[in-house]
Structure 1
Amino acid sequence: MIRVLQRHILSSVLFASGAAVVFTTFVFAAGNFIKELLAPLLDGTLPASVVLKLTVLLLPYAAVYAVPIGLLVGTLLVMGRLSADNEITAMRSAGLSLWQISRAVLMFGLCGAAFALAINFEIMPRARTTYQVEIVRAFRQSAFNILAPKTFIRAFTGAVVYFNHKDGDELRDVWAWQLDSQQRVTRLIHAETATLDIDEDTATMVITFRNTTIEQRQAGDPEIRNKHDAIASFEETSIDISLAKLFNPRRARHKIEWLPTRELFAELKRVSAPDIPALDRLKVSMAVQEKFVTALAVFSFVLIGIPLGVRTQRKETSANLGIAVILVVVYHVLGSAAGGLDRHPELHPDWLMWLPNLLFVGLGIWLYHRAQRA
């Protein structure tokens, strides 16, 4: 009978938590989607197929925070419903302890914490690294795609480009007008051929001209051509054109927490050397500790969700969701307070990050003990 009851409770928690994790993951992913991908999708910079692929790669990053919240919501909803329907009372009347009733849910919480570790250390870093590579590649390709022959290309910042023929990355019979802040031509470039390259770190396109003639206008009033304009010929020269309108160089960044396990611990070992600044060492340590902390939060939330669900005796979804929101807000406020000390290595904020989990585990054990004795 006990196994049947445990399977019933576990299946209910599993279903409710799974639904909550999926919903929360898409909510968090939607925020990143709106911030990074919506504008390029709407203006046609990125095709829908590429945006869909990039959105899928955002899901593991969102799941890091969605899994603890989802399991907390699922546990509160199921235990609250069982308590409101007096099923917990019936089980207790049959001689079952709270431990026997909720043992499977606690084991589920431990499995969820192990799954969160896998997400934090392997799945999310690999997905996020792939995302960074793919989005830079996509914007790079979009920058090349807008270069159509026999068209005045005005998508760049501070320049207009025109050419008659394109052969791969090589342009032929190329004209380029560099503009000032008032959109006046300050330099006119004409070349027989030109090649393209993109520097993702600075978000610039480098155009290398060959067999070039350059007309440099006067700085005071470049719209008036006169004998003082400098005209020169070069066998090869280059200009940098900003691609800020197309993509932001911050998209190419790579954070420490996005390193996979082996590289992350190699970095942790490297910064452990005595000649490494304390702030650099603290930054890597906090990245490692945060992964463990967010994984343990899964079990902490389940542990505190069981007695809270039993004691609140609320069947209404809104009430249990309200409790979940309060717990999540308190947890993240405490975690953010510890993270805000990242400039003070003497206070050991990497260890203070464990404080919310310790408080929640301690509170959960106390509430669990009280519910067990009730």
Structure 2
Amino acid sequence: MRLIDRYILGKIWPPAALAALVICFVVVGGAVRSQMRELLERIPMTQIAVLDILRIAFYALPTLVGYIFPITFLMGIMFVFSRLAQQNELTAMKAAGVPLKRIVLPVIIFGAMLSGIAFVVADQCQPWAYWRLMRLVTTDMPLRMSVEMLPTGVMHEYGEWRVYLGRRDPGGILRDIVILQPEEEGANAFYADRARVVEIDGRKHLELEHGIFIPRDPHRHFMFESLVKAAPTPATSKAPGANEGMTIAQLCGEERRLRKQFDETGALPVGIDLRKVRLEIKNRLAFPLMCLAVSIVGAPVGARSRRAGQSFAFTIGLAIIVAYFVLRKLMELPLLLPLSATVALGQIPNMMLCMLGIVLIWRVDRV
């Protein structure tokens, strides 16, 4: 790598890294908030540790690389080339016989490398992270929930039980506890003045004291001084089989299966699922190539903002990102198109950015 290549790329990565931190905080934070809202409907906040939140953020990150890589890379390019233009470094390089097309070349090569990395992350890391995230929020965290840690004053669904805790003593003794055990023909009810959790043969049990048991037949109720009941296993939810958890090869196999099924039945739900799979394949191929597209258009646009300043360069960069996603949305036609047409439409925003960048690079020596 020549000195000029190291110089350009060395100036790009600090602002790009700073932009990546900010965007990761915003985008990943939104994903974490979305997962937390769903979790809090089933799990009390006291059962969620800081480590759980960090794991959710870590597993959500690979699914957002398609957004983070190109946006941060474009911001870094715009910042550096705008500053080089303002400080007349581009003019000095041109006077030294270095064409601006040559200055842009390492940026484009690095953008192509980022596209390759983003493709691998989307194809391999995203499915892995998706299923780890689903296992965490649907199985691991619910199974850690303990009955003695349930918030007081509210009826909770705990496994097959409905549990109400009046209050909790500092020593962990539960007071004024109500347990409803639904069955097909009614429900058994347990009322106790106090209770505590004990472990018998490696399984948690609830020892109720000074209470009354009312079965489905209320005439058979009886009072008890002490009653031990095995606590049920906390309810878990089934992880949805989403397209995000498939590799491109698996998505293509699913697309062939749904296409055959749709050709045979013509069922609308199958057609909807087929369209979703095709859109997912389109996004897996389009988002990684966005890194290459923004590298082609970002450098010449930044170089032309010499008089306007870096604020203008950032504004133009944001405008490019907004235009890209608006155009991408417009290309998602509400039709069931063939896979080839769906993928081709998904590449139109990338191709338009590339063509704009090529035109500007061709004219960039006029800067």
TM-score bucket of the superposed structures, by smaller chain: 0.7 to 0.9
TM-score of the pair, normalised by structure 1: 0.71
SS in structure 2 at match of 1:161: strand
Residue in 2 aligned with 1:355?
348
SS in structure 2 at match of 1:155: strand
Is 1:102 paired with 2:104? yes
Is 1:275 paired with 2:264? yes
Greater Cα shift, 120-129 or 33-42 = 33-42
Residue in 1 aligned with 2:80?
78
Structure 2 residue identity aligned to 1:351: A
Residue in 2 aligned with 1:46?
48
Structure 1 residue identity aligned to 2:264: D
CA 358–230 in structure 1, closer or farther in 2 if over 3 Å, else same: farther
Q: Deviations over 1:61-115 (max 9, x none)?
A: 2222111101100110011110110000010111111221121111111111111
Q: Deviations over 1:191-236 (max 9, x none)?
A: xxxxxxxxxxxxxxxxxxxxx97326xxxxxxxxxxxx6879xxxx
Residue in 2 aligned with 1:133?
135
Residue in 2 aligned with 1:288?
281
CA 315–60 in structure 1, closer or farther in 2 if over 3 Å, else same: farther
CA 350–111 in structure 1, closer or farther in 2 if over 3 Å, else same: closer
Structure 1 residue identity aligned to 2:121: I
Is 1:260 paired with 2:261? no
Is 1:345 paired with 2:337? yes
- Counting only pairs closer than 5 Å after superposition, residues 225-240 of structure 1 correspond to structure 2 as none
Structure 1 CA distance for aligned equivalents of residues 149 and 75 of structure 2? 53
The question of whether the paired residues in 2 share the 8 Å contact of 1:154 and 1:161 is answered with yes
Residue in 2 aligned with 1:223?
none
CA 230–357 in structure 1, closer or farther in 2 if over 3 Å, else same: farther
User: Shift of the alpha carbon at 1:292?
Assistant: 1.0
Structure 2 residue identity aligned to 1:265: C
The question of whether the paired residues in 2 share the 8 Å contact of 1:64 and 1:120 is answered with yes
The question of whether the paired residues in 2 share the 8 Å contact of 1:122 and 1:260 is answered with yes
CA 33–152 in structure 1, closer or farther in 2 if over 3 Å, else same: closer
Greater Cα shift, 92-101 or 364-373 = 364-373
CA 314–13 in structure 1, closer or farther in 2 if over 3 Å, else same: farther
Residue in 2 aligned with 1:25?
24
- Counting only pairs closer than 5 Å after superposition, residues 134-149 of structure 1 correspond to structure 2 as 134-143=136-145, 145-146=146-147
CA 336–318 in structure 1, closer or farther in 2 if over 3 Å, else same: same
Residue in 1 aligned with 2:204?
none
User: Shift of the alpha carbon at 1:15?
Assistant: 2.8
User: Shift of the alpha carbon at 1:50?
Assistant: 1.9
Residue in 2 aligned with 1:311?
304
The question of whether the paired residues in 1 share the 8 Å contact of 2:130 and 2:244 is answered with no
Residue in 2 aligned with 1:201?
none
Structure 1 residue identity aligned to 2:25: F
User: Of 327, 330, 334, which residue of structure 1 is paired with 2:323?
Assistant: 330
The question of whether the paired residues in 1 share the 8 Å contact of 2:104 and 2:299 is answered with yes
Unaligned regions of 5+ residues in structure 2, if any? 166-176, 191-212, 222-231
CA 107–147 in structure 1, closer or farther in 2 if over 3 Å, else same: same
The question of whether the paired residues in 1 share the 8 Å contact of 2:143 and 2:234 is answered with no
CA 344–34 in structure 1, closer or farther in 2 if over 3 Å, else same: same
CA 44–162 in structure 1, closer or farther in 2 if over 3 Å, else same: closer
Greater Cα shift, 254-263 or 22-31 = 254-263
User: Shift of the alpha carbon at 1:189?
Assistant: 4.2
The question of whether the paired residues in 1 share the 8 Å contact of 2:254 and 2:277 is answered with yes
SS in structure 2 at match of 1:254: coil
Residue in 2 aligned with 1:66?
68
TM-score of the pair, normalised by structure 2: 0.73
User: Shift of the alpha carbon at 1:35?
Assistant: 2.2
Q: Deviations over 1:150-190 (max 9, x none)?
A: x9982229963389xxxxxxxxxx974379xxxxxx74346
Greater Cα shift, 73-82 or 31-40 = 31-40
- Counting only pairs closer than 5 Å after superposition, residues 162-177 of structure 1 correspond to structure 2 as 176-177=179-180
Structure 2 CA distance for aligned equivalents of residues 254 and 278 of structure 1? 17
Structure 1 CA distance for aligned equivalents of residues 98 and 289 of structure 2? 28
Structure 2 CA distance for aligned equivalents of residues 9 and 335 of structure 1? 30
Unaligned regions of 5+ residues in structure 1, if any? 164-173, 180-185, 191-211, 217-228, 233-239
Q: Deviations over 1:260-284 (max 9, x none)?
A: 3442333234334343754443322
Structure 1 CA distance for aligned equivalents of residues 14 and 30 of structure 2? 25
User: Shift of the alpha carbon at 1:136?
Assistant: 1.2
C-alpha RMSD over aligned residues? 3.7
Greater Cα shift, 72-81 or 123-132 = 123-132
User: Shift of the alpha carbon at 1:303?
Assistant: 0.7
Structure 1 residue identity aligned to 2:90: I
Residue in 1 aligned with 2:155?
154
Q: Deviations over 1:111-164 (max 9, x none)?
A: 111111011111122112111111112332244x12579x9982229963389x
Identity of aligned residues (%): 22
The question of whether the paired residues in 1 share the 8 Å contact of 2:56 and 2:133 is answered with yes
